[in-house]
Amino acid sequence: MLDMKIPQIDPFIGDEEYKAIKQCFVDKWITEGPRTKLLEEKLLGLIGAKYGVFAPNGTLSLYLALKAVGIGDGDEVIVPDFTFIASATSVIMAGAKPVFVDVNKDNFQIDVSLLKKLLNKHTKAIMPVHMYGTMCDMESVCGFAKENGLLVIEDAAQAIGVKYKGKHAGNWGDVGSFSFFADKTITMGEGGFVTTNNSEVYDKLLYLRNQGRKERGTFIHPEIGYNFRITDFHSAIGLVQFGKLPEIIKRKKIILGWYKEKLKGIEEVTMFRPFTGYDWIPFRVGLLANQAHQLMGYMESKGIQTRSFFYPLHKQPAFKEVISHLIKDSDFPNTCYAYDHGVCLPTYPTLTEDKVEYICSTIRSFYKERRDIFYKYYDNMFADKDYTKETKFIWEMTKTYGVGEVKKVLEIGAGTGNHTKEILKRDIEELFAVDIDPEMVVRLKKKLGLKRNLKIVEGEVDQLREKNFDLTLAMFNVVTYIDSEKQLKQFFSQVYSRLKPGGIFVFDVWNGVAAIKDPPKEKESKYKNVNETIKVKILPETDFTLQKVRLRYMFEIFKDNEIVTEGEYLLTQFLWMPRQLDLILKRVGFEKITTRSLNDLDKRSDSFDWKVVYVVQKPLKK
Ligand SMILES: Cc1ncc(COP(=O)(O)O)c(C=O)c1O
């Protein structure tokens, strides 16, 4: 894979297209002619529109569409802020002003709920843009346009073949526009197509595109028009491509399936997807990724060509003069989000499964390398923490409530072994240190070395056969990683069955009540490590409905004040409510001894304590 070069796109063209062009030479018909007519019929058949005309490209077809419906000087056209620049420049070219609107966060299609406040007496039209091979909510767009007497010009450049409820993109509004540029689902090299069901608009289109006349060969021109014709070379390619459309769609869907499968489990990314029930011909395979721009740099360095999502139009340097200076990023949170997080992965019909595998494993290693920084500097973050205090408390608890001396201990979520080291200082016969994270286990083994009374186990508790522990501890939020009652019950049962009667179980946990009252805030800390400075920023995101906090640890490592490397780690904490925990513990059979505030172990916890320590016991007799 060393020399792997994977382009973003690779047009699905070959001998067939070449032969078709050659035939134009043989027939000596190189300007717009029979091939163009035939392609027009085929496209209209697919799209279901009554009329259609070609343009040299998608930008000019948008311009024709706008002019044909009468958009011009002083008019305003609402254009989504998230689209290729041509959607807006065609409006400017027509003499009108584009007014930008934010898109939805699900799949970056126009947000109809924001249109109302943009209306004024100049507003003439809306231009929904169907993004990335799926469709906008056209029922809402058309409903809104009708209510407010606006025209609808659909930019369907990326949506050939895409339908909703059987109706093709571009055939919902007053006019539709398509592009056949080299990266589109089917291509003519360059090419555009305008569709309409209105005979007057069609007439206008004919005049505009062919020097203000409908017939060739006459020099009498009833209207002012220009030359927007194409050549039969383009249409010859277009016809072959049209024939390949079903195969292209099939292959693109297979490729999408590979991506879905192979990206599973990478928590840092989610995939772009259409609204439920809408067609999707993955013109692009879009990813929403943490640190997307760094990821793209990394992928490029591994020979994979990526593209970002579109840059918000309201920020385009080219539009500085055109749009009001009052426009603010805060009016376009979703387009800003899309640009910051969006990555287009390579997709083209000849892309093979091993290449998709390479792309996905490159993404995986990017995040793994960044996570490794977390592991490397993990101990620095906890260097000042006093583990003796917690261990002392645990021993006090077992002495007061347990049965006899603590000889056999089970530690769940041993991590890098900070508690483990403390436990080993006690007079115990055997300590089982368990962790499900293989990286942590490797580090733990390295750090603690071989010890007669220590067994380090990678995996879950259920693989342990021993059933006579005096004490089990699960510190460092083991319980908060579990996010379902069923799994938590299972986990508690596993612990229960491995304890001796009278055995003690101690665990710490986030207090959901406190975290919901006072959600975690952004925090930045600095640590020193020989000649490095480690900056850690924790960015929390609380989801109250899901009862979760997602913590994003961002690491920056500096040497001599220069940043040398960066890392990132994602951690999700489930916010268990104390009542939920009490119920599950009881159902499993535990008896609660006490709950303490983790910050002050001498104090019983209350609902303001963020982190709580639970001490429970397996009863002697049931
Ligand atoms: C949404 C959208 N509109 C318009 C265009 C312009 O099409 P063309 O490149 O054929 O001029 C494109 C091309 O990428 C596009 O993606």
Q: Where are the domains of the chain?
A: 15-368, 385-511+576-617, 515-574
For residue 180, report the distance from its CA to the centre of ligand 1, in Å. Answer: 8
Q: Calculate how far, in angstroms, residue 61's C-alpha sits from the geometric centre of ligand 1.
A: 9
pLDDT on residue 2: 56
Ligand 1 pocket test, candidate residues 135, 179, 190, 234, most atoms within 8 A of CB: 179
Looking from the CA of residue 83, the nearest atom of ligand 1 is: 1
Atom of ligand 1 nearest to the CA of 158: 16
CA of 59, closest atom in ligand 1:
11
Which of 8, 54, 57, 59 is the pocket-test mutation for ligand 1 (most atoms within 8 Å of CB)?
59
Q: Are strands 469-474 and 408-412 parallel, antiparallel or unpaired?
A: parallel
Contact 175, 65 (CB under 8 A): yes
- Work out whether strand 192-196 and strand 51-55 pair parallel, antiparallel, or are unpaired: antiparallel
Provide the residue count of the chain.
Answer: 622
* Pocket-testing residue among 158, 175, 185, 284, ligand 1, by greatest number of atoms within 8 A of Cβ: 158
Residue 37 gets which letter from DSSP? H
pLDDT score, position 13: 96
Q: Say how many Å lie between the CA of residue 56 and the centre of ligand 1.
A: 12
Q: How far apart are CA 337 and CA 319, in angstroms?
A: 20
Torsion angle defined by CA atoms of residues 324, 326, 328 and 330, in that order, rounded to the nearest 10 degrees: -130
Query: Per DSSP, which regions of 297-351 are E strands?
Result: 307-308, 342-345
The C-alpha atoms of residue 214 and residue 232 are separated, in whole angstroms, by 19
* 103-112 tens-digit pLDDT: 999 999 999 9
DSSP summary character for residue 24: H
pLDDT of residue 325: 63
pLDDT at 622: 60
Interacting residues of 523 by C-beta distance below 8 A, sequence separation 6+: 537, 538
At residue 447, the pLDDT reads 87
Cα–Cα distance, 554 to 536 (Å, whole number): 6
Give the tokens for residue 413: 């979520």
| pLDDT digits 0-9 by tens, 320-332 | 887 776 688 999 9
CA distance 487 to 483: 7
User: Could you name the CATH architecture of 515-574?
Assistant: Single Sheet (2.20)
CA of 52 to the centre of ligand 1 (A): 18
- Ligand 1 atom nearest residue 90's Cα: 4
- The Å distance, Cα 179 to ligand 1 centre, comes to 6
**What is the DSSP annotation of 41-90?**
HHHHHHH--SEEEEESSHHHHHHHHHHHTT--TT-EEEEESSS-THHHHH
Mean pLDDT by 10 residues, the chain (622 residues): 84 97 95 97 98 98 98 97 98 96 96 97 98 97 98 98 96 98 97 98 97 90 96 98 98 97 95 93 95 94 97 93 78 96 97 98 95 84 84 94 92 91 94 92 88 92 91 94 95 96 96 93 90 92 92 91 88 94 97 95 92 96 68
Specify the CATH superfamily of domain 385-511+576-617: Vaccinia Virus protein VP39 (3.40.50.150)
* Measured distance CA(422)–CA(415) in Å, rounded: 13
CA torsion angle 304 305 310 315 (round to 10): 100
* Beta bridge partners of residue 613, listed in sequence order: 508, 596
358, 360, 315: which is closest to 338 by C-alpha?
315
Residue 355's pLDDT is 97
Check the CA dihedral 261-265-269-270 and report its sign.
positive
Q: Do 107 and 273 form a contact (C-beta atoms < 8 A)?
A: yes
Instruction: List the one residue out of 241, 234, 186, 245 whose CA is nearest residue 33.
Output: 234
Which pLDDT score is estimated for 582?
97
Q: Residue 442, exposed/middle/buried by CB under 10 A (0-12, 13-18, 19+)?
A: middle
Task: Give the distance (Å) from ligand 1 centre to CA of residue 86.
Answer: 6
Residue pair 159/134 in contact (Cβ under 8 Å)? The answer is yes
Q: How far is residue 94's CA from residue 105's CA, in Å, rounded to a whole number?
A: 30
Locate the ligand 1 atom nearest the alpha carbon of residue 192 and give its number: 10
**Ligand 1 first shell, C-beta below 6 A:** 57-59, 83-84, 86-87, 129, 155, 157-158, 179, 181, 192
Pick the CATH number of 15-368 from 3.40.50.1100, 3.40.640.10, 3.40.50.740, 3.40.50.300: 3.40.640.10
Nearest CA to ligand 1 atom 14: 84
